[in-house]
Amino acid sequence: MKFGVIVFPGSNCDHDAFFAVGNNLGQQAEFIWHDSTSLGDVDAVILPGGFSYGDYLRCGAIAKFSPVMQAVKKFATDGGLVLGVCNGFQILVEAGLLPGALVRNRGLKFICKELRLTAGTTNSPFTCAAAPGQELRLPIAHGEGCYVADERTLDELEAEDRVAFRYIDNANGSMRDIAGILNRERNVMGMMPHPERATEPLMGSTDGLVVFQSMLRSAVTA
């Protein structure tokens, strides 16, 4: 399987995502520069963490206009797997590929911390390798990761089984403990915790592998 890792000028978890899927998952990976208009022949796309274009405005507000995001949108529309982590989640939300918004953490501070969360559903290409309700330990590292949406959207997400991950330790104040969500077609997922930072024992946890193994399983069976 071949993963494409999008590189915005301010991406700083791009190498980590590359290492997680390339080294620890043992799959192919390549970087895709932000002004590319094509994603080439990748099977899945990862929008990594970081500060896309500095993010001095709302996080991801500029990134959504980048050339590569047009290609990502098309890729998603065609059914391709798109994973947004942290800043990647923020960008997917800004680009309208996922509903809701990510605002400043409840305590108004950046938080870097390992948290406990559960897989909210196993019915998705990003969580199918998880056991139902499986507890995971994944780190977060963000200042604006508090997920908010209107009541109707939240109800819809839950009714349609689109909450991919929920916090057990909700450190940022996200509504309904939401840590990650799926789009309606279930091929786009955004999550604030960093699965790529938990993909080998030396990192302190291997629980993040579940996300990438799920993607691998889905791509192979698709």
194 catalytic? Reply is yes
Our CB check for other proteins shows the closer of 109 and 152 to be: 109
CA dihedral 69, 73, 75, 79 (to 10 degrees): 150
Cα separation, 214 vs 170, whole angstroms: 24
- 84 contacts other proteins (rule: CB under 8 A): no
Residues in the chain: 222
Our CB check for other proteins shows the closer of 33 and 96 to be: 33
Least distance from C-beta 39 to other proteins, angstroms?
Answer: 19
Q: Which residues contact 152 (CB under 8 A, 6 or more apart)?
A: none
Q: Which of 51, 126, 167, 212 binds other proteins (CB under 8 A)?
A: 51
Q: Which of 64, 162, 166, 197 binds other proteins (CB under 8 A)?
A: 197
Cα separation, 5 vs 32, whole angstroms: 6
Radius of gyration of the chain (CA): 15
Element holding 210 (H helix, E strand): helix 209-221
Our CB check for other proteins shows the closer of 125 and 143 to be: 143
| Residues belonging to the active site | 86, 194, 196
**Binding stretches for other proteins (CB under 8 A):** 9-10, 12-13, 15-16, 19-20, 49-51, 53-56, 109-114, 139, 141, 143, 194, 196-197, 201-204
